[in-house]
């Protein structure tokens, strides 16, 4: 009876952790009606149960924890990141609170995973299960059975676009490959009831693998293809080297020349494949190279970091300076955009948090991989490796489902239970008696659990008003999109203290203020938005505000700043022409209108054609006004 009760408690404690992994399946529209915070809200809600589940599991099992290097580096990384951010911008934003909660999750998982040997296995099963659900979801979207989450893309799973969706599948792919290969041997053995777990894991792994292989090509994500391919190949080569090493060695010793030819052919195929992937979306690849190049300038200038969540605003400023310096090429000006992310998490971390936290995080990743390999946790290490490869070409760490998975994979690599015994004392020659160290270990775990309760309670109480603000924002957007700007301003105004780190909210609020002639208020909101976003449209709105105030000199400055950030955009030049015309400077207006007509657009659209037609009409009207009729001579 006692064992049954303990088993029930262990199963109960698993549910919140499984819920965290399942948070990836939450749709934004089901929680916040399109404000983009659905997965974040789900993460916060379930995190409220994590300290309870961890404490209950420890009370039920009382297993000691062997501390390791990452237990010091992770909180140090977080503390430095929070300090750097707060010193640059003394406000608490959503990313800072999420970082604190992830540290709590890290220590909770460290304690929880050692309480029972089945905990990690069950969580990895749940992790693969989310991959299977996402793969099936994508297949249904591909064949039109369920709607996509983005009007421009057919396959997105539960994500907003196919990039992170593909990255999530690529992260799970190596784990599915590992267990599909490893557990296949149980299928050929006689059926045993005690092997049911392995049958289940093999079936799940094989189903997940098939689903991912079927849907991953349809995502058109090169980063995910590379990450998943590398992880899968590492798993397969590791299996071959372990179980077929003697056969491979014998073949190479007998057929050395053939082996060289095979390796050379493989290298050639890989090289051709990489070139093909580059040309598949050449502009996208060149655009990311530009982002990395400009980001390096930021790191060189501000190596201490700009603050967590402030990459885009600082990048927009740096890109404008880069184009103004004359170093940029014409192709770079043509492919430039206003990225929210660096498309390389290592670079973005170095920009936002500085070089020192970046180095600490590299040590954490390296340590976790090395320890995981030494302990034979190849499935976890391979998935972690795929995630890190994908993060070098995309933005997974900006999405909470990836951060939850990252925390699980790191703790899965390093977590191991520890028995305080006299024999271990004798082997390692500890200074203090094992009974005393066992009490210290228990005290440290209890203190960690108490601290996690306090921190989670504070974070949730801090974020609950933000959740309510998101709900109110989703309702107020109805008036904004209906052009009822007066009512929208009334409803948006009180949300600013809670949504000051949401650029879409700031953009809409500033637009509504501008449309209702509250230009000075709109200017203040735009100034706040430019810290967190490099979108040149913010400067266009700012220019419109100054036009409304008849301050054409400042309007011209902001339109030029917008044009300088993304030179291929037509709209800032169009607005400059209109500002010159309104100010009465017809010569400048005509020159700018002519420039708009001659400018090559990146994407032709009805909007660009309408702007060019308006500029043509402007030039024609100016020529008519400037035409003088010669006086008629009455003597003739």
Q: What is the CATH number of the domain that holds 510?
A: 1.25.40.10
89 within some domain: yes
Q: Are residues 495 and 621 in the same domain?
A: yes
Domain end residue (candidates: 322, 341, 362): 362
Q: Are residues 469 and 606 in the same domain?
A: yes
- Nearest of 103, 166, 159 to residue 406 by alpha carbon: 103
Beta bridge partners of 417: 65
417 within some domain: no
Q: Are residues 485 and 356 in the same domain?
A: no
Q: Which residues of 421-434 are buried (b: 16+ CB within 10 A; e: fewer)?
A: eeeebeeeeeeeeb
- Contact assessment for residue 556 and residue 576, using Cβ atoms and an 8 Å cutoff: yes
How far from the centroid of its chain's Cα atoms is residue 239's Cα? Answer: 32
- Residue 157 phi/psi, 5-degree rounding, is 60, -135
Q: Are residues 592 and 472 in the same domain?
A: yes
Domain total of the chain: 2
**Helices 571-583 and 606-626, packing angle to 10 deg:** 30
Residue 434: predicted pLDDT? 60
User: Domain span at residue 319?
Assistant: 69-114+281-362
Residue 635: predicted pLDDT? 47
- Nearest of 381, 282, 310, 373 to residue 530 by alpha carbon: 310
Q: Are residues 472 and 328 in the same domain?
A: no
- Residue 210 phi/psi, 5-degree rounding, is -65, -45
Residues 6+ apart with CB under 8 A from 339: 287, 291, 312, 315, 534
Q: Which residues of 45-64 are buried (b: 16+ CB within 10 A; e: fewer)?
A: bbbebbbebbbbbbebbebb
Q: Are residues 480 and 338 in the same domain?
A: no
- Contact assessment for residue 576 and residue 592, using Cβ atoms and an 8 Å cutoff: yes
Q: Are residues 357 and 469 in the same domain?
A: no
Domain end residue (candidates: 362, 388, 408): 362
525 within some domain: yes
Enumerate residue ranges in the chain where pLDDT < 70: 1-2, 29-36, 243-259, 262-263, 277, 279, 418-435, 437, 625-636
327 within some domain: yes
- Contact assessment for residue 512 and residue 485, using Cβ atoms and an 8 Å cutoff: yes
487 within some domain: yes
Average pLDDT along the chain: 87
Domain end residue (candidates: 362, 396, 427): 362
Q: List, as one string, the DSSP characters of 224-249.
A: HHHHHHHHHHHHHHHHHHHHSHHHHH
Residues 6+ apart with CB under 8 A from 40: 94, 98, 400
Residue 606: predicted pLDDT? 86
Residue 626: predicted pLDDT? 66
270 within some domain: no
Q: Are residues 470 and 616 in the same domain?
A: yes
Query: How many Å apart are CA 534 and CA 299, to the nearest integer?
Result: 17
Q: Are residues 354 and 496 in the same domain?
A: no
268 within some domain: no
261 within some domain: no
Residue linked to tokens 């220590």: 107
Residue linked to tokens 């706040």: 528
């Amino acid at each position: 009876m006692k064992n049954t009760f303990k088993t029930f408690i262990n199963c109960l404690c698993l549910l919140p952790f499984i819920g965290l992994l399942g948070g990836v399946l939450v749709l934004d529209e089901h929680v916040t009606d399109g404000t983009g915070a659905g997965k974040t809200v789900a993460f916060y809600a379930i995190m409220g149960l994590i300290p309870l589940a961890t404490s209950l599991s420890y009370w039920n099992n009382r297993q000691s924890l062997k501390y390791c290097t990452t237990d010091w580096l992770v909180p140090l990384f977080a503390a430095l990141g929070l300090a750097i951010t707060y010193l640059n911008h003394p406000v608490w934003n959503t990313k800072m609170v999420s970082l604190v909660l992830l540290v709590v999750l890290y220590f909770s998982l460290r304690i929880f995973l050692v309480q029972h040997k089945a905990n990690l296995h069950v969580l990895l099963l749940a992790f693969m299960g989310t991959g299977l659900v996402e793969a099936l979801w994508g297949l249904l979207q591909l064949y039109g059975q369920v709607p996509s989450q983005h009007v421009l893309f057919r396959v997105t799973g539960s994500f907003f676009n196919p990039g992170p969706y593909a990255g999530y599948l690529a992260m799970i792919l190596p784990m599915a490959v590992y267990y599909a290969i490893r557990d296949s041997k149980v299928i050929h053995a006689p059926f045993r009831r005690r092997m049911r777990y392995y049958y289940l894991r093999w079936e799940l792994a094989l189903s997940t693998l098939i689903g991912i292989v079927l849907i991953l090509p349809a995502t058109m994500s090169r980063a995910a293809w590379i990450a998943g391919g590398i992880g899968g190949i590492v798993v397969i080569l590791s299996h071959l080297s372990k179980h077929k090493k003697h056969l491979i060695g014998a073949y190479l010793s007998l057929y050395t020349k053939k082996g060289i030819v095979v390796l050379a052919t493989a290298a050639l195929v890989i090289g051709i494949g990489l070139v093909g992937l580059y040309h598949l979306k050449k502009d996208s690849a060149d655009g990311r190279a530009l982002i990395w190049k400009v980001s390096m300038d930021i790191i060189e200038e501000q190596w201490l970091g700009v603050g967590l969540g402030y990459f885009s605003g600082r990048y927009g400023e740096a890109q404008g300076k880069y184009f103004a310096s004359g170093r940029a090429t014409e192709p770079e000006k043509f492919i430039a955009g206003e990225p929210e992310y660096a498309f390389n998490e290592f670079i973005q971390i170095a920009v936002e948090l500085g070089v020192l936290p970046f180095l600490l995080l590299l040590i954490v990743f390296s340590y976790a991989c090395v320890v995981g390999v030494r302990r034979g946790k190849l499935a976890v290490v391979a998935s972690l490796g795929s995630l890190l490869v994908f993060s070098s070409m995309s933005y997974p760490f900006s999405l909470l489902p990836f951060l939850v998975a990252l925390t699980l994979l790191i703790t899965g690599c390093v977590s191991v239970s520890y028995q305080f015994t006299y024999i271990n004392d004798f082997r390692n020659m500890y200074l203090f008696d094992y009974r005393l160290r066992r009490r210290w270990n228990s005290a440290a775990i209890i203190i960690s659990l108490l601290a996690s309760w306090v921190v989670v309670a504070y974070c949730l109480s801090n974020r609950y008003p933000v959740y309510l603000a998101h709900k109110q924002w989703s309702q107020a957007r109805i008036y904004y999109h209906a052009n009822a700007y007066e009512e929208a301003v009334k409803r948006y105004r009180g949300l600013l203290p809670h949504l000051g780190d949401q650029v879409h909210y700031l953009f809409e609020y500033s637009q509504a203020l501008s449309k209702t002639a509250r230009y000075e208020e709109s200017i203040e909101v735009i100034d706040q938005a430019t810290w967190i976003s490099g979108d040149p449209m913010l400067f266009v709105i700012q220019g419109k505000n100054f036009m409304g105030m008849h301050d054409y000199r400042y309007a011209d400055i902001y339109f030029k700043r917008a044009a300088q950030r993304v030179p291929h955009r037509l709209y800032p030049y169009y607005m400059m022409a209109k500002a010159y015309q309104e100010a009465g400077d017809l010569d400048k207006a005509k020159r700018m209108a002519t420039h708009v007509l001659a400018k090559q657009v990146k994407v032709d659209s009805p909007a660009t054609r309408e702007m060019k037609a308006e500029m043509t009409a402007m030039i024609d009207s100016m020529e008519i006004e400037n035409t003088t009729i010669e006086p008629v001579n009455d003597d003739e």
